Amino acid sequence: MLLSPKHRFLFVHIAKTGGTSVRAALQRRRWADPWYWPMFLCSRFSHLSGHRIATKLPRHAKVVAAKELLPKEWFDTLFKFAFVRNPWDLQVSSFHHIRRERPQFLGGHDDFAGFLRWKLDPGRRYQFHVDTSIELQTDYLMDLHGNIVVDFIGRYERLEADFDEACRRIGLTQVQLPHRRQAKDRAHDYRSYYDADTAELVASHFARDIALLGYAFDPADD
């Protein structure tokens, strides 16, 4: 999550949706924000206290955390936005990310189908690096009453165009989106990773995301 008092925006960072690039682009503008250094110092103190003083919103915090923490009149003035991603594609990206950077969390499953079935098993022990990628993306966008409270939902599939639109609404110009964490170890088409059973596993688990965000598996043409 990225908050800018000067530019009055709140970026809700959902994992594996291009958020690292968005943060990198917007972070540079925060350095000119007169609130940046007080916020930075508070963040350091929060870290030293084990975040017990609650002055730092976590990187992947849901918008409800900011809504409950910030004064209502201030929260309502912020331009709140996030990026989402096709759930089937996101799961492929998550698999390769964990296999590449945190293989100890694969649970002994080095193939995508086996890992996905294990990952979506409700009886599996919770693991942060695994479970953040199976939380519903719409949970990040909603308040406690199930209302979507972000003002703009961009899509990973058109990241640059939607980032430009978010910057236009914020009032920022000439902000270049860097390309960060581009995977080179996966097939381009996420659909090639699935069979009918694993595709249905994702469809069932992420049914609300698929319905509210308008995603589909889009099977390849015969």
pTM above 0.85?
no
What's the mean pLDDT in 99-121?
A: 92
Instruction: Assess whether pLDDT exceeds 90 at residue 219.
Output: no
Asked if residue 46 has pLDDT above 80, the reply is no
Q: What is the pLDDT of residues 55-108, one digit of tens each?
A: 567 788 999 999 988 889 889 999 999 999 999 999 999 999 999 988 998 988
- Higher-pLDDT residue of 201 and 129 is 201
49 vs 108 pLDDT, higher one: 108
3 backbone dihedrals φ, ψ, rounded to 5°: -115, 130
Query: Mean pLDDT, to the nearest integer, of 136-145?
Result: 96
pLDDT, residue 180, reads: 56
Looking at residue 191, its pLDDT comes to: 95
Beta carbons within 8 Å of 205's beta carbon, 6+ residues apart:
87, 120, 134
Report the pLDDT value the prediction gives residue 58, as an integer from 0 to 100.
77
Q: Is 204 in a helix, a strand, or coil?
A: helix
The predicted-structure confidence for 17-28, as pLDDT tens digits, reads as follows 998 889 888 876
Of the pLDDT bands very low, low, confident and very high (cuts 50, 70, 90), residue 49 is: low
Alpha-carbon gap, residue 130 to 72, rounded angstroms: 33
Average pLDDT value for the chain: 87
Choose between 48 and 166: higher pLDDT: 166
Residue 53: per-residue pLDDT: 45
Give the list of residues 6+ apart from residue 45 with CB closer than 8 angstroms, or none. 53, 55
pLDDT at 27: 75
Query: Residue 54: its pLDDT value, please?
Result: 45
pLDDT at 220: 47
Q: What is the 3-state secondary structure (H, E, C) of 122-178?
A: CCCCCCHHHHHHHCCHHHHHECCCCCECCCEEEEHHHHHHHHHHHHHHHCCCCCCCC
| Segment 165-216, tens digit of pLDDT | 999 999 998 888 887 556 666 778 999 999 999 999 999 999 999 999 999 9
SS3 state at 216: coil
